[in-house]
């Protein structure tokens, strides 16, 4: 399994489409055997789900993203876990241990707009 966590520094990014990059964790038999940092290719609508799929990602973890982005990730066979915060290394360990529960997405759409659109 390959997990991507949207990051700003060593923290989970609140807005995955505007993050600095992704902490990529390779997991086998509930053990992280590799971690890489992948810089974001930039803020381009529709590009990030394809970009992460090209890197073999199975799961994206972030603070929040808009509904269209979620749909695009699912279309690329990538699961989405939102409402997460904290240190990316601890978040990865908590996910693998089954201790990570999704919260509310940090993106809000009261004005009818998209948070991060289809990034």
CATH number of the domain where residue 35 is located:
3.30.420.130
Q: What is the pLDDT of residue 15?
A: 86
Assess if residue 74 is contained within a domain.
yes
Assess if residue 115 is contained within a domain.
no
Handedness of CA 61, 3, 53, 51 (dihedral sign): positive
Assess if residue 117 is contained within a domain.
no
Assess if residue 19 is contained within a domain.
yes
Q: What is the pLDDT of residue 86?
A: 96
- Give mean pLDDT, residues 55-74: 94
What's the number of domains the chain is made of?
Answer: 1
Assess if residue 109 is contained within a domain.
no
Q: What is the pLDDT of residue 85?
A: 95
Residue 10, pLDDT above cutoff 80:
yes
Residue 117, pLDDT above cutoff 60:
no
Structural domain that includes position 88: 2-43+56-96
At 71, phi and psi to the nearest 5?
Answer: -60, -45
Q: Provide, rounded to the nearest whole percent, the portion of the chain with pLDDT above 90.
A: 71
Q: What is the pLDDT of residue 103?
A: 79
- Alpha carbons 75 and 83: distance in angstroms, whole number: 21
Whole-prediction pTM? 0.88
How many of the other CB atoms lie within 10 Å of CB of 35?
14
Tell which phi-psi region holds residue 92, choosing left (phi > 0), alpha (psi between -120 and 50) or beta.
alpha
Assess if residue 38 is contained within a domain.
yes
Q: What is the pLDDT of residue 116?
A: 40
Assess if residue 37 is contained within a domain.
yes
Task: Output the CA–CA distances (angstroms, integers) from residue 108 to 27, 63, 114, 118, in the order listed.
Answer: 31, 11, 8, 14
Residue 44 contacts by C-beta under 8 Å, 6 or more apart in sequence? 119
CB 2 within 8 A of CB 26: yes
pLDDT bracket for residue 45 (50, 70, 90): confident
Assess if residue 72 is contained within a domain.
yes
């Amino acid at each position: 399994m390959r997990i991507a966590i949207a990051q700003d520094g060593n923290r989970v990014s609140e807005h995955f489409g505007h993050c600095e990059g992704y902490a990529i964790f390779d997991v086998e038999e509930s053990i992280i055997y590799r971690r890489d940092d992948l810089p974001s290719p930039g803020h381009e609508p529709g590009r990030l789900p394809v970009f992460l799929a090209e890197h073999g990602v199975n799961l994206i973890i972030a603070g929040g993203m808009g509904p269209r982005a979620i749909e695009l990730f699912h279309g690329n066979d990538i699961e989405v876990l939102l409402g997460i915060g904290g240190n990316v290394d601890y978040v990865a360990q908590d996910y693998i241990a089954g201790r990570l529960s999704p919260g509310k997405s940090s993106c809000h759409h009261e004005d009818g707009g998209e948070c991060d659109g289809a990034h």
